[in-house]
Amino acid sequence: MDVNLPDKAYFRIGEVSKILQVKPYVVRFWETEFKTLKPVRATSGHRLYHKKDVEMLLLIRKLLYEQRFTISGAKQYLATSTREEPPARAASDQLRLVEIKRVLTGIRDLIGEKGK
C-alpha cells in the first residue's frame, strides 16, 4: 500500500483512518498498543498526528494486515528495526571496511617481502 502523504504538519484521526483504510477506533487501539505513537491534542481535545506518526501507522498496518504479524510480533519487529542502522550508513561502513582491508593487505604483503 504505497501512499503519498500530503505535505502538512498534522493529520486528524479521520484523515488518518481514510489514509490507512481502517476505522478510527482501530487507530485509537493501535495508539494504546504501540507506545511510539504519540499524537498531540488540540485545544479542542482532538488527536493530531504528525507525518512521522502516520508513516509509523502505515508500517503497522502493513505488518498486521499484509504480512500477518500479531500485535506482539509487530511490537517486537518495530523494537528491533528501530535499533538497526539506516541502510545508507551500513553501506558506507561496508565500503570503508573494504578499503581498510585493501590497505592492510598491501601492508602485509610489504612486510612479507622484507622478511624474505
pLDDT at 43: 92
Please choose, from the candidates 33, 37, 35, 39, the residue with its C-alpha nearest in 3D space to the C-alpha of residue 69: 33
The pairing of beta strand 47-50 with beta strand 40-41: antiparallel
The set of cell numbers assigned to 102 is 585493501
Task: Indicate if the pLDDT at residue 115 is higher than 70.
Answer: no
Backbone angles phi, psi at 48, to 5 degrees: -125, 120
Higher-confidence position of 80 and 40: 40
pLDDT above 90 as % of the chain: 60
What number of other Cβ atoms are within 10 A of residue 91's Cβ? 11
* Cα(10)–Cα(20) distance, integer angstroms: 15
State pTM to two decimals.
0.68
pLDDT digits (tens, 9 = 90+) for 2-53: 678 888 989 999 999 999 999 999 999 999 999 999 999 999 999 999 999 9
Q: Confidence band (pLDDT; 50, 70, 90) for 84?
A: low
Instruction: Report the top-level CATH class of 1-84.
Output: mainly alpha
